[in-house]
Amino acid sequence: MSNPADNPSHPATAPKSRLTKKLPTFRVGFSKQLDALRAYAVLSDNGTKGVHYTKVGEIIKVHEANVSSMNPFFVEIGLVEKKDPGYVPVADVVEYNRAYGWNAETAARKLAPIINNSWFGLALSHRLQF
């Protein structure tokens, strides 16, 4: 009988995989994450100045630590950019906020180009095309 420790492909001895992409936080619901994007757009004067995440937390009534946990995902997929003294939303996020004032139900369509070109958007679209 062979020893599982001698087999590098055995689950007990295989190296653990690490995440290579940022994921959205589980601490904050999806609608609050969209609220955070809108708050970045408003507080940044439509994308012209950096916003500290604590200010976003104050507006959307979410603890600053939870807002901070959203930012790595937002940055990785291109919704906001890190700039001192905080974060600046990209133009599509500013447009999303403007559209939200007209029609909240269809406003998220403004985020479609970013979502479609994100790592998960590309992976999903390939599966859907298949």
pLDDT of residue 10: 61
pLDDT of residue 126: 82
Parts of the chain with a pLDDT under 70 = 1-14
Tell whether pTM > 0.85. Answer: no
pLDDT of residue 23: 81
pLDDT of residue 73: 94
Q: Are 27 and 17 in contact (CB under 8 A)?
A: no
Q: Are 114 and 78 in contact (CB under 8 A)?
A: yes
